[in-house]
Amino acid sequence: MPKLMLWEPTLGMDASAEDMDDIRAMMIPRSARLRLGYLYGGSVRYQPGEALGPRDLADYEMVLLTEGSAIYQSGEAAHEITAGDLVLARPGFRERYTWDGRQFTRHSYFHFSIESIPHPWPAPDLWPVIHRQPDRAVESLFHSILRRSHRPGGQPASQPPPLDTRMVELLMELLLEPRTGASIPEDGERPQPVARALKWMRHTLEENPHATVSLDELARQAGVSSKHLCRVFRHSIGHSPMVTLRLLRLQLAVALLVRSSLAVKEIATQCGFSDALYFSRCFSSAFGRSPSRVRLELQHGIPPPGNPLPVDLTPRIHW
């Protein structure tokens, strides 16, 4: 079967050797899955102020900075990278690393050659070079690949095992996938007043869901004024503090409809609504369906309504 090429370039007579190297590096056949020629890696520690390069890269390389910082230069572009950042370099790059002048720098890396790339992937010249603080899943997968591909004796001449290639393919897809939507905040990422107020809301829902909660009380627990608390809540969560609390109660109600046999009136009471009719009105306004309708749909395999709050704010269930 003939190989599908990304494109057939047409070069003028003045094309340089570097241009030709870049073009050849990008003319990679497409296939259903990633296919690697080889894969090997390791870890290096540098003294303060050391440099690597300039060098001409002959294959693909991923570099994950794990300690210190550096200036990474590729051609005319220069990037400051810090611990946790990842560099995805391509064949033909003329690059240089200048390591942190104040402390030791450590990075992990692996080199690989590509024989074919999956159909949906963009052309390699469109791949981002610098990845700022990628998800923890990327870092974990990177280190797993590194453990499997470490070759103290030098680079292997044969193709890596299929599992190693699949791991690299998954890592690449995580790096190439556009980031859309709001990410889930890590611990400590929300503003402190918001975090303190949310913690107190959750504690109240768990220990005393019938307690009357006011905006002034939330602000006091958060250690800021009511006005400031409203401002940071809207910026961080998209809702006011009191609306957030009501949505937490309603999201708990959805969970109880899914995971308990309590009557709707009992669920309303369990979630802090003294009036079952008011609970139903609030529920229908938030989710577009009544509690009874949602429970009936669940019995017929229709999934529950989505969480109106960021997914990290799902309340714990106690009944």
pLDDT at 261: 87
Of 16, 42, 11, 37, nearest to 94 by C-alpha is 16
218-272 pLDDT tens trace: 999 999 999 999 999 988 888 899 999 999 999 889 888 888 889 999 999 989 8
User: 14: Cβ–Cβ under 8 A, 6 or more apart, which residues?
Assistant: none
CATH number (domain holding residue 112):
2.60.120.280
**Cα gap 96→94, rounded to integer Å:** 7
Claim to verify: residue 121 and residue 217 sit in the same structural domain: no
Highest mean pLDDT: which range of 112-116, 188-192, 207-211: 112-116
**Cα gap 62→76, rounded to integer Å:** 20
Claim to verify: residue 75 and residue 131 sit in the same structural domain: yes
Claim to verify: residue 230 and residue 295 sit in the same structural domain: yes
**The domain containing residue 285 runs over which residues?**
192-313
CATH number (domain holding residue 246):
1.10.10.60
Res. 120 pLDDT band, cuts 50 70 90? confident
Count the domains in the chain. Answer: 2
The total of other beta-carbon atoms located within 10 Å of residue 33's CB is 12
Claim to verify: residue 167 and residue 218 sit in the same structural domain: no
pLDDT at 50: 92
Residue 160 domain flag: yes
Highest mean pLDDT: which range of 94-98, 102-106, 236-240: 94-98
Claim to verify: residue 33 and residue 163 sit in the same structural domain: yes
Global confidence as pTM: 0.53
**Cα gap 75→63, rounded to integer Å:** 17
pLDDT at 215: 93
